[in-house]
Chain A
């Protein structure tokens, strides 16, 4: 990953938007496959629908979908910065968390500053929806109040082994005010749609205003952003 280049891009441009996303859900529901597919498709999709700008097709993760992907260890952090035009830069930051119970106490660190969360469950595993519901509850209680939450019923390609009704999850999502899609990370069905509707629900202003106070962390911010990093919710 050519982080140096990205940094230069950011410095040269006018506006920086940050798109901070966290993936949550029980282990083995396909979170990591999800973001791989997501990143691959996002730039190909109708970004200009959202950002009114040129699309820069970039693929920075070349992983193919892997049926036997190893579990994520702890959490994986992915960033990618793309320039939509000379003045607009969007920085994606994705926290892909491990689904195992033992990592649960670390989760607040990952969703604390996220402006959107994708809670994933596996339509073939009844327990995974319960887990997803508890994540939603936790997010609504503890995360940023403006966070956009999407519920994704993954592995829709395995519909023959479906254990969770689409309607049931749909009803739950409507009740709690979540975006809802049944997706397949394997066939990329609905993955694009899910992320586009997240983006639509989240105005650019919010993306810019909601930037995480990261202390001295982000060097390029001094160039681009007017607001110095406030010592708001970061405990460092």
Chain B
């Protein structure tokens, strides 16, 4: 049924070979075993000669290549109202012959030509000569890019390369240079902070994020050192201002497998350079998350004021210590579906326990307290909020990212200003952060910067009461459990699913059991989910139901007014079988899912405590 291609050469390979392995699905699925003895250098140099052209050629001709590459489609979308699968599922046989990735690339390309290209290229055409002139400057080693495009292909997420690389390092084959001595205990060590932006390793990463000021000053790069990418940021700034001059704004460049997505936010330019097959919209959403992360440190007021005063201000001076959060965010956006879905996940626990915890949190109500929440493993246990001020999932993601992104919260009680942009992007709230057990973190958010001791006492009260009714132990146990498996759901043929309650902006998903416990397979599944999500949320033609067959999975996407469902089945499920199942699932969804929903989506349902807001009076405005 399901075969997971494994290479016998996985462990002894040299790092470069492993990258090659991870990058190219055609190599992966090839019958020829990879020879560990093959000299990677030679392989690459051969590629340079074979493919001297740069992948980043921004020729308009590439857009025509896209439209021709989408001849066959195994995707059939149909309307939910018809409630019937289209008989005409073309390409199912073809999809079994080809690798899923080839097909997907074709599809993605087609969707490119249908959506983004339409918008990008007319403007782009006008800038063609200019950009071609800049081509060599963007990447001063076009050969590297050529080689990259040769091996580039298929595995979707950028995190796969991280996995492979850490594997390589553990094998002691790492060719990564030793950290220079100047960096000796000077704070947070970034995993890729030492990478040379001119090196192959750097350009090979699947997804780059850059943040720069409108003056072209580098602020953040996901890989490497910001101070060394000023050449690239200069070029980005030039490209952006070229379009700004024409009273236009650049949104996306499609160059072969790479997408360059731009998000211009006042004094900040955010750019994603990705070959992960994520759509323009998805990448732009991710850029927004990064932008919000910066706002959460600075507030938009401060950000605007700084750049009004000095347009060429080096924002890194103010963002010091924020890199772990940006790095952590960039990584989690690749493997947490919550970002894509704009929703969060809750810790699964029984209703009585959650009620008990919620009641205890309510006992500390005071006007100093705006939000109170308990978090474990990036999931919400419960949340206390004023009735009129729900917490936007994007803000919650920032809060989670903050708690998750730094280990310093574990050692003491912390008190930190935080701006929640969806709540109010102009001022700071103040967060009290404390781990009350090994895994469970209590967050109390106040609009007043002087309320640390009040909240610290509130924490003591909460912990005392939780201990009295034995809830503390229970929470810790629950937070250590691994969630539920697909077997617990008890639906035959279903391999994995993501279910999002639109009303509660929460999602639930079973743990990744075999075969998805393999990071490689998991990423493949994620890619399918992302693709389905993008198709269904297309601005041009949003879909209610989407059915897609790949060689290893069949993905059903289904959106109603109350939920979004992404479900993965085996590849051999027949359309009539699915139709049958679809009926079965209707009842199943109504019962089981609502059962789950009552349990999992509980915290937002109960009438919540009204807390009077004093923030306009005591808001911290620097």
Q: What 1/0 mask marks residues of chain A from 45 to 82 whose CB sits below 8 Å from any chain B CB?
A: 00000000000000001010011111111111110000
Contact of B411 (CB < 8 Å), options: A27, A30, A63, A100: A63
**A103-B187 contact given A70-B324, A77-B412, CB 8 Å threshold:** no
Contact of A217 (CB < 8 Å), options: B317, B406, B457: B457
Output the least CB separation between B294 and chain A (Å): 12
Alpha-carbon distance between A211 and B124 when the two chains are bound, in angstroms: 68
Alpha-carbon distance between A86 and B504 when the two chains are bound, in angstroms: 54
Alpha-carbon distance between A233 and B222 when the two chains are bound, in angstroms: 45
**A77-B321 contact given A27-B187, A106-B449, CB 8 Å threshold:** no
Are the CB atoms of A73 and B321 closer together than 8 Å? yes
Are the CB atoms of A69 and B187 closer together than 8 Å? yes
Are the CB atoms of B415 and A61 closer together than 8 Å? no
Contact of B412 (CB < 8 Å), options: A78, A98, A186: A78
B408 CB contacts on chain A under 8 angstroms: 32, 69-73, 76
Output the least CB separation between A158 and chain B (Å): 7
Name B174-188 residues within 8 Å CB distance of A. 184-188
Are the CB atoms of A75 and B415 closer together than 8 Å? yes
Alpha-carbon distance between A76 and B321 when the two chains are bound, in angstroms: 14
Name B390-419 residues within 8 Å CB distance of A. 402, 406-409, 411-417
- A4 in the interface (beta carbon within 8 A): yes
Chain B CB count within 10 A is highest, among A3, A4, A61, A77, for A77
- B262 in the interface (beta carbon within 8 A): no
Name B273-304 residues within 8 Å CB distance of A. 297-298
Alpha-carbon distance between A61 and B410 when the two chains are bound, in angstroms: 11
Chain A CB count within 10 A is highest, among B185, B189, B415, B450, for B185
Output the least CB separation between A235 and chain B (Å): 6
- B460 in the interface (beta carbon within 8 A): yes
Output the least CB separation between B325 and chain A (Å): 9
Are the CB atoms of A77 and B456 closer together than 8 Å? yes
Are the CB atoms of B417 and A103 closer together than 8 Å? yes
Q: What 1/0 mask marks residues of chain B from 306 to 350 whose CB sits below 8 Å from any chain A CB?
A: 000000000001101100100000000000000000000000000
- B86 in the interface (beta carbon within 8 A): no
**A158-B184 contact given A98-B321, A235-B450, A236-B451, CB 8 Å threshold:** yes
Name A161-218 residues within 8 Å CB distance of B. 186, 214-217
Are the CB atoms of A70 and B185 closer together than 8 Å? no
Are the CB atoms of B451 and A70 closer together than 8 Å? no
- B364 in the interface (beta carbon within 8 A): no
B188 CB contacts on chain A under 8 angstroms: 68-71
- A109 in the interface (beta carbon within 8 A): yes
Chain B residue at minimal CB-CB distance from A30: B185
B133 CB contacts on chain A under 8 angstroms: none
A73 CB contacts on chain B under 8 angstroms: 321, 402, 406, 408-409, 414, 416, 433
Alpha-carbon distance between A236 and B614 when the two chains are bound, in angstroms: 14
Alpha-carbon distance between A75 and B433 when the two chains are bound, in angstroms: 10
How many residues of chain B are within 8 Å of chain A by beta carbon? Answer: 40
Output the least CB separation between A125 and chain B (Å): 9
Name B445-468 residues within 8 Å CB distance of A. 449-454, 456-457, 460, 463-464, 467
Are the CB atoms of B413 and A109 closer together than 8 Å? no
- B607 in the interface (beta carbon within 8 A): no
Chain B CB count within 10 A is highest, among A68, A73, A105, A235, for A73
Chain B residue at minimal CB-CB distance from A102: B318
Are the CB atoms of A101 and B318 closer together than 8 Å? yes
- B622 in the interface (beta carbon within 8 A): yes
Alpha-carbon distance between A72 and B416 when the two chains are bound, in angstroms: 10
Are the CB atoms of A236 and B406 closer together than 8 Å? no
A69 CB contacts on chain B under 8 angstroms: 185, 187-188, 408
B451 CB contacts on chain A under 8 angstroms: 236
Name A79-115 residues within 8 Å CB distance of B. 96, 98, 100-103, 105-106, 109
Alpha-carbon distance between A98 and B407 when the two chains are bound, in angstroms: 14
Alpha-carbon distance between A73 and B433 when the two chains are bound, in angstroms: 10
Interface residues on A, range: 35 or more
Alpha-carbon distance between A101 and B457 when the two chains are bound, in angstroms: 29
Alpha-carbon distance between A74 and B106 when the two chains are bound, in angstroms: 48
B456 CB contacts on chain A under 8 angstroms: 77, 217
A71 CB contacts on chain B under 8 angstroms: 187-188, 320-321, 324, 406, 408
Are the CB atoms of B415 and A27 closer together than 8 Å? no
Total contacts A-B at CB 8 Å: 113
- A22 in the interface (beta carbon within 8 A): no
Alpha-carbon distance between A28 and B298 when the two chains are bound, in angstroms: 20
Alpha-carbon distance between A121 and B409 when the two chains are bound, in angstroms: 23
Chain A residue at minimal CB-CB distance from B320: A100
**A236-B450 contact given A73-B321, A78-B412, CB 8 Å threshold:** yes
Output the least CB separation between A164 and chain B (Å): 16
Are the CB atoms of B298 and A102 closer together than 8 Å? yes
Contact of B454 (CB < 8 Å), options: A74, A106, A236: A236
Alpha-carbon distance between A103 and B317 when the two chains are bound, in angstroms: 12
Name B463-512 residues within 8 Å CB distance of A. 463-464, 467
**A28-B187 contact given A70-B324, A72-B408, CB 8 Å threshold:** yes
Output the least CB separation between B445 and chain A (Å): 12
Are the CB atoms of A77 and B450 closer together than 8 Å? no
Output the least CB separation between A105 and chain B (Å): 6
Q: What 1/0 mask marks residues of chain B from 85 to 118 whose CB sits below 8 Å from any chain A CB?
A: 0000000000000000000000000000000000
Are the CB atoms of A217 and B454 closer together than 8 Å? yes
Output the least CB separation between B375 and chain A (Å): 15
Output the least CB separation between A161 and chain B (Å): 8
Chain A CB count within 10 A is highest, among B189, B317, B408, B457, for B408
Are the CB atoms of B412 and A96 closer together than 8 Å? yes
Alpha-carbon distance between A186 and B407 when the two chains are bound, in angstroms: 19
B464 CB contacts on chain A under 8 angstroms: 4
A186 CB contacts on chain B under 8 angstroms: 185
A98 CB contacts on chain B under 8 angstroms: 321, 416
Chain A CB count within 10 A is highest, among B297, B324, B411, for B411
Output the least CB separation between B29 and chain A (Å): 40
Are the CB atoms of B450 and A74 closer together than 8 Å? no
Name B427-457 residues within 8 Å CB distance of A. 431, 433, 449-454, 456-457
**A75-B454 contact given A67-B184, A69-B185, CB 8 Å threshold:** no
Output the least CB separation between B423 and chain A (Å): 18
Are the CB atoms of A28 and B415 closer together than 8 Å? no
B453 CB contacts on chain A under 8 angstroms: 214-215, 217, 236
Chain B residue at minimal CB-CB distance from A79: B413
B402 CB contacts on chain A under 8 angstroms: 73
Contact of A74 (CB < 8 Å), options: B187, B320, B417, B457: B417
Alpha-carbon distance between A75 and B411 when the two chains are bound, in angstroms: 12
Are the CB atoms of B454 and A3 closer together than 8 Å? no
Chain B CB count within 10 A is highest, among A61, A66, A69, for A69
Output the least CB separation between A68 and chain B (Å): 4
Output the least CB separation between B394 and chain A (Å): 20
Output the least CB separation between A185 and chain B (Å): 9
Contact of A76 (CB < 8 Å), options: B320, B411, B454: B411
Chain A residue at minimal CB-CB distance from B323: A71
Sorted nearest first, the 10 A-B pairs with minimum C-beta distance are: A74-B416, A71-B321, A68-B189, A76-B412, A67-B185, A217-B453, A77-B413, A28-B187, A70-B188, A78-B412
A-B contact pairs, 26 of them (CB 8 A): A4-B467, A27-B187, A27-B320, A63-B411, A67-B185, A68-B185, A68-B189, A69-B187, A69-B188, A70-B321, A70-B406, A71-B188, A73-B433, A75-B414, A76-B414, A100-B321, A101-B317, A103-B417, A109-B450, A155-B185, A158-B184, A186-B185, A214-B453, A217-B457, A219-B457, A236-B454
- A sample of 8 more A-B contacts (CB under 8 A), given A77-B415, A96-B412, A106-B449, is A4-B464, A28-B186, A32-B408, A77-B452, A77-B456, A78-B412, A102-B320, A105-B622
